[in-house]
Amino acid sequence: MLRSLYKRTMRGFLPDEIAAKTKHGFGLPFGVWTRSHDGLRRLSEEALASLAARQLLKLAFVEEALRLNREAHAG
Protein backbone atom coordinates (compact mmCIF):
# COMPACT_ATOMS: atom_id res chain seq x y z
CA MET A 1 0.00 0.00 0.00
CA LEU A 2 2.76 2.48 0.88
CA ARG A 3 4.62 1.55 -2.27
CA SER A 4 1.68 2.48 -4.49
CA LEU A 5 1.20 5.74 -2.58
CA TYR A 6 4.88 6.57 -3.02
CA LYS A 7 4.72 5.77 -6.73
CA ARG A 8 1.65 7.98 -7.24
CA THR A 9 3.25 10.77 -5.23
CA MET A 10 6.45 10.63 -7.24
CA ARG A 11 4.71 10.54 -10.65
CA GLY A 12 6.24 13.28 -12.73
CA PHE A 13 9.39 13.37 -10.61
CA LEU A 14 10.67 9.87 -11.39
CA PRO A 15 11.10 8.49 -14.91
CA ASP A 16 8.19 6.22 -15.91
CA GLU A 17 10.45 3.16 -16.22
CA ILE A 18 11.52 3.52 -12.59
CA ALA A 19 8.02 4.22 -11.27
CA ALA A 20 6.66 1.19 -13.15
CA LYS A 21 9.26 -1.27 -11.83
CA THR A 22 7.95 -4.15 -9.76
CA LYS A 23 9.27 -4.93 -6.32
CA HIS A 24 12.33 -7.18 -6.41
CA GLY A 25 12.86 -7.71 -2.71
CA PHE A 26 16.04 -7.57 -0.73
CA GLY A 27 17.18 -10.18 1.72
CA LEU A 28 19.78 -9.85 4.42
CA PRO A 29 22.19 -12.74 5.09
CA PHE A 30 21.05 -13.00 8.72
CA GLY A 31 21.57 -16.76 8.86
CA VAL A 32 25.14 -16.39 7.63
CA TRP A 33 25.76 -13.62 10.15
CA THR A 34 24.55 -15.81 13.03
CA ARG A 35 27.16 -18.38 12.07
CA SER A 36 30.03 -15.89 11.94
CA HIS A 37 29.18 -13.54 14.80
CA ASP A 38 28.99 -15.16 18.25
CA GLY A 39 27.08 -12.29 19.84
CA LEU A 40 24.39 -12.28 17.17
CA ARG A 41 24.13 -16.08 17.35
CA ARG A 42 23.61 -15.97 21.12
CA LEU A 43 21.11 -13.14 20.84
CA SER A 44 19.05 -14.94 18.21
CA GLU A 45 19.15 -18.26 20.09
CA GLU A 46 18.03 -16.55 23.31
CA ALA A 47 15.22 -14.73 21.51
CA LEU A 48 13.98 -17.96 19.93
CA ALA A 49 14.23 -19.79 23.26
CA SER A 50 12.19 -17.02 24.87
CA LEU A 51 9.47 -17.36 22.23
CA ALA A 52 9.39 -21.12 22.77
CA ALA A 53 9.26 -20.68 26.56
CA ARG A 54 6.24 -18.41 26.18
CA GLN A 55 4.73 -21.02 23.84
CA LEU A 56 4.63 -18.62 20.90
CA LEU A 57 6.71 -21.08 18.90
CA LYS A 58 6.91 -24.83 19.31
CA LEU A 59 10.17 -25.92 20.91
CA ALA A 60 10.66 -28.62 18.26
CA PHE A 61 10.41 -25.96 15.53
CA VAL A 62 12.99 -23.74 17.25
CA GLU A 63 15.37 -26.65 17.78
CA GLU A 64 15.05 -27.75 14.15
CA ALA A 65 15.59 -24.20 12.86
CA LEU A 66 18.73 -23.85 14.97
CA ARG A 67 19.99 -27.27 13.87
CA LEU A 68 19.46 -26.41 10.21
CA ASN A 69 21.25 -23.11 10.66
CA ARG A 70 24.24 -24.91 12.18
CA GLU A 71 24.36 -27.90 9.83
CA ALA A 72 22.88 -26.84 6.51
CA HIS A 73 23.20 -23.75 4.34
CA ALA A 74 22.62 -20.80 6.65
CA GLY A 75 20.76 -18.80 3.99
Instruction: Tell me the percentage of the chain whose pLDDT exceeds 70.
Output: 96
pLDDT value at 3 more than 80: no
- Greater confidence (8 vs 24) lies with 8
C-alpha distances (whole Å) from 49 to each of 28, 41, 54 are 22, 12, 9
Predicted pLDDT of residue 41? 92
Domain ranges in the chain are 2-71
Q: Give mean pLDDT, residues 16-32.
A: 81
The C-alpha angle 41, 47, 53, rounded to 5 degrees, equals 135
pLDDT band per the 50, 70, 90 thresholds, residue 1? low
